[in-house]
Structure 1
Amino acid sequence: MAVPEQNATPPAPPRAAIAELLRGVAPVADELGARFAAAGHELALVGGPVRDALLRRPTKDVDLTTDAPPERVLEIIKGWADTHWTIGIEFGTVGLRKGGHDLEITTYRSESYDPKSRKPVVAYGTSLVEDLRRRDFAVNAMAARLPGHEFVDPFGGLPDLGRKVIRTPGRPEDSFSDDPLRMMRAARFASQLGFAVAPDVVEAMTAMAERIEIVSAERVRDELSKLLCGAHPREGLALLVDTGLAARVLPELPKLRLEIDEHHRHKDVYEHSLIVLEQAIAQEEDGPDLVLRLAALLHDIGKPRTRRFEEGGRVSFHHHEMVGAKMTRKRLTALRYPKDVVTEVSRLVELHLRFHGYGNGEWTDSAVRRYVRDAGPLLSRLHKLTRADCTTRNKRKADRLRRTYDELEVRIDRLAQEEELAAMRPELDGNQIQEVLGITPGPLVGRAYKHLLEVRLDRGIIGHDAAVAELRRWAAEQETAGQGTGDAR
């Protein structure tokens, strides 16, 4: 559970916060509020933007809510909005652009799930307070009416912001029954805001964890990604594990809590993984890196399956990186992550132990080239993951590992300058191979190209003439072996 920060800045006064939120868009929002009022309908700022304004957090969203049904909203904005769109209209949302500002208007509504359904059933409402009641948490159940900016907080969201606590507007069991994804959202807000989750909310999450299984993988994935990219992911992940939600959406994570006995000791893999995640985050340069964070969290998930008890109290996890890479691919695919994310994260998991074969610098230049080749565009992330994976409390060992990796990076930089490692191509391309061997396009060209790439990795840049000679030597060897130039001109 997240722990509230001590001596935290209190929430901004509501009127000042709303004024700041609307700075720049106030004329548009107030004019729109007046149009709705003239048409006999309500309009209010609502939800996350109000919460963030009160927390003095930047926000780009202007979310509005109204008692007018979507068809009526379209009538009210007709001729006033510069443009509008209806991509979410089945859920009661209409988007519009006015004077360079994008606004979204959602009709008061209530959502609930049939016990066997993965999709919410949407019903429209007529009361702002009832609309706020159906929202996930009290800190998101605040609004400001337009055009007068009257602050509406029927469920104590403002005091919750001051106390840094996540609490539901009504009974958490009712809230989670309406939308089970809110259980994961509680963990996500613990990560993003660093707030504590109220005990009754944690109890309901634990009792109702199995309900998360009716939610689509895509929605679960999105919440998990937001949680991981928050400022306090450890708190959110711990909440998922402790309530049993992780066992249903990311079961590999709680399984890292391996039993440790007095005869066979090894590090706490679960705690180690959370530390690696935090140490990887500390190296980020341009904001949250989802691929790096997923790789850091999942890099050791192959250990439970590969644990073996050895003589003398030793414990081994042979090939856990290979097993873990396959498990990572399977889990992220099940969560409907994009193919590039699945490929990149599983590749990092597969490579995360490669550096430990470097020893005290015994790698040849050929081995360094292969390290760079195998990492490809993931090299920078692999550097960060490898450094993050050092969690030993032995300062001398930690310093030695750091110095050794510093040395490896220096060697990579030197070879990169000398040999253009980023390109990492043979010195002859496919057309040149065909010309030298007098062959047409076919499998032999690919085999020759692959051979010259191995030569490039082993020996570095040898020059055009030497590459031609090596190609002819290899081709003659293929002829002798009966695998030669059957597709020659």
Structure 2
Amino acid sequence: MFIRLGITPGFRTFRCKPQDLGSAFILMKRKYSARATEHILSSSPPTKKHRPYTATMVASTITLTDQEKQLKDLLLDVARHIDSSPSGNNNNEPVILRWAGGWVRDKLLGIESHDIDTAINNLTGEAFVGKLREYLDIPGKKQLHKLQDSDIGRLHTVARNPDKSKHLATSTIKLCGLDVDFVNLRKETYTEDSRNPEVEFGTAEEDAKRRDATVNALFYNLKTGEVEDLVGGLPDLEAGVIRTPMEPLQTFMDDPLRVLRLVRFASRLGFRIDRAAEEVMSDEGVLRNLKIKISRERIGVELEKMLKGKHPVESLRLIDRLGLYHAVFTNPERPDMPKPDISHWNLAYECLFFLENNNTPESIWQLLVSTEEARYFAWSLATLTPWEQLPDDPPLKSGKAALPLATQAAREGFKAPNKLSDVVTAAHRHRPAILELKAIVDQQKVEMEDRAKFGMAIREWDARAVGSWRLQVLYAIMVDVAERTAGSSTREEVLIQWQDFLDHLVELDLMNAASLKRLIDGKYLSKELGVKPGKWTGAALEVVMEWQLRNPGVEDPAGAVEEVRKRKEELGIK
């Protein structure tokens, strides 16, 4: 199926249902009474579980930007140069260039795109880029295409790595302000006794059929200006459907990572996954291959893209509904790795979705999530909440505590970076202490006015994973909501208590307690006490910090020194 582009102007819009407006409730910042008896009222329908189709085709033609036109003209001239060169084309077949996949899909949907995949019919990507550089070295060619040296970046080739589902080398270069990948058209043949396909040059149709989804298998032919649809991608784009070009079960058995890629594209675009594909995504063989055939780094890349996207909750809803959880969040190298009950997992991630969509001044989300990295970590933590129901592993032979199961699932399941793994570990280990402090506020105990007690606890949580105490509290909130709303409590009742707890921290001016600087250091303290520094110094400086927290705004350290002096015997100062 071919559609001529760039000739007839006009616009076409897909049918679109109203977008899901989010939560049933508005969690506004409130100052509650000591018992937090106010209720959060509902004024809208319940949250919909599935976001309707929202992507819209805004044009019936692909309109190229000035940069894209410049790039297109350059690449066509390079192709002509290769065709006319005696040594440029060994098989006498003209060079045909196509922009492929995501760029075509996004341009048709009116989504801005700066990454272009260029498919070549008869040259490898690396060979074509070599000819490109050869062409640009001809005097006058850069000037012809209005190129400066800065417009041409360095070539970077990503090597073939079958063990990580990278079956063909890709050459990447910066051109005309765009990131351009070059790779030859290819076909892939899988055999039952091999986890890696045989890859060779293929036709455009063969290349389209090996792709993960029909909407990602569209081509834009640079010479003809046509969109080439060889597998039904355009009708699926209009219908808002994610469908595999080939038979779904075989598609997923060949490359199980496609299961997660389909989840990602469906959640990103607001599309639905074709029923035939959905029915086999949780096939036992597919999930087994997803666990053992695909590198966990590749799984981590897909998951990170989901959770950093605009609709992470949609990805988690699909992972949950399609039964993919235990294939992703696990340690595949550990035969005895337990499986948590995920029947109430949705209560945790829907809670986070609720909080993010009700981000008002001094709300839970605003107080606890302040950066894009924190948002990504928050959604990563939401994926791991089911592990809190299971007991810890026994201590190691060395006596050291074993890593929490949640951390194991993160590190080995999707290769979470060390920083995120540290946050997961801290969130698990400090959850009892967080709940203990919250109970003090819930019960209006006298200790709730002890600024040092709360401040020192916050500093302790943060010391184990710097800058993360807020995320640790957020994790405790999600687990608490999942546990209690699975029983008799409502989500709003639970969140009111947590809002009250955070309100109290704000009133005590402790939200920045973790970054509070000491008035004095060990050297100053040693001099004032007239003793040599020793093992006592660290504990004494903690006493100084407690004094600071109980005496906010006091800049004279004399009182802190006197507090240490009073406790010399306890601190072992001689």
> TM-score higher than 0.5 here?
yes
Question: For 2:268, what is the secondary structure of its paired residue?
Answer: helix
1:173 to 2:258 alignment: no
Deviations 1:84-116 (A, max 9, x none): 323314433112223333311112224566767
1:144 to 2:224 alignment: no
Corresponding position of 2:438:
356
Deviations 1:368-419 (A, max 9, x none): 3134324542355456556666585758835852662463143143x56xxx
Question: For 2:353, what is the secondary structure of its paired residue?
Answer: helix
Larger RCO: 1 or 2 (CA < 8 Å, sep 6+): 2
What is the Cα deviation at residue 134 of structure 1?
Answer: 0.9
Q: What are the within-5 Å matches in structure 2 for residues 11-160 of structure 1? A: 11-14=57-60, 16=61, 18-20=62-64, 22-39=65-82, 40-67=94-121, 68-79=123-134, 80=136, 82-90=152-160, 91-111=168-188, 120-121=196-197, 123-160=199-236
What is the Cα deviation at residue 48 of structure 1?
Answer: 0.9
Distance across 1 between alignment mates of 2:508 and 2:318: 41
Distance across 1 between alignment mates of 2:532 and 2:444: 44
Corresponding position of 2:408:
330
Residue 84 of structure 1 aligns with an amino acid whose one-letter code is: R
Corresponding position of 1:191:
267
Question: Which protein is richer in helix relative to its size?
Answer: 1
Deviations 1:128-149 (A, max 9, x none): 2211111111010001011432
% of aligned pairs identical?
23
Distance across 2 between alignment mates of 1:147 and 1:179: 32
Corresponding position of 1:470:
563
Distance across 1 between alignment mates of 2:372 and 2:560: 44
What is the Cα deviation at residue 152 of structure 1?
Answer: 0.6
Deviations 1:293-317 (A, max 9, x none): 12233235212549xxxxxxxxxxx
> So what's the TM-score if we normalise by structure 2?
0.68
Closer, same or farther in 2 for the Cα pair 1:113/1:302, shift >3 Å?
A: farther
Corresponding position of 1:401:
497
Corresponding position of 1:221:
300
Question: For 2:230, what is the secondary structure of its paired residue?
Answer: coil
Deviations 1:267-319 (A, max 9, x none): xx32312322312432467668210112233235212549xxxxxxxxxxxxx
CA contact (8 A) 2:404 2:428 kept: no
Closer, same or farther in 2 for the Cα pair 1:89/1:205, shift >3 Å?
A: same
What is the Cα deviation at residue 484 of structure 1?
Answer: 4.3
CA contact (8 A) 1:292 1:345 kept: no
Distance across 2 between alignment mates of 1:238 and 1:250: 15
1:424 to 2:516 alignment: yes
Distance across 1 between alignment mates of 2:66 and 2:371: 27
Question: For 2:513, what is the secondary structure of its paired residue?
Answer: coil
Question: For 1:185, what is the secondary structure of its paired residue?
Answer: helix
Residue 125 of structure 2 aligns with an amino acid whose one-letter code is: P
**Which runs of no fewer than 5 residues in structure 1 stay unpaired?**
259-268, 307-322
Corresponding position of 2:528:
436
Residue 378 of structure 1 aligns with an amino acid whose one-letter code is: S
Corresponding position of 2:52:
5
Distance across 1 between alignment mates of 2:228 and 2:75: 19
Corresponding position of 2:507:
411
Residue 450 of structure 1: which of 521, 542, 563 is its match?
542
Closer, same or farther in 2 for the Cα pair 1:161/1:146, shift >3 Å?
A: same
Residue 87 of structure 1 aligns with an amino acid whose one-letter code is: T
What is the Cα deviation at residue 32 of structure 1?
Answer: 0.6
Corresponding position of 1:263:
none
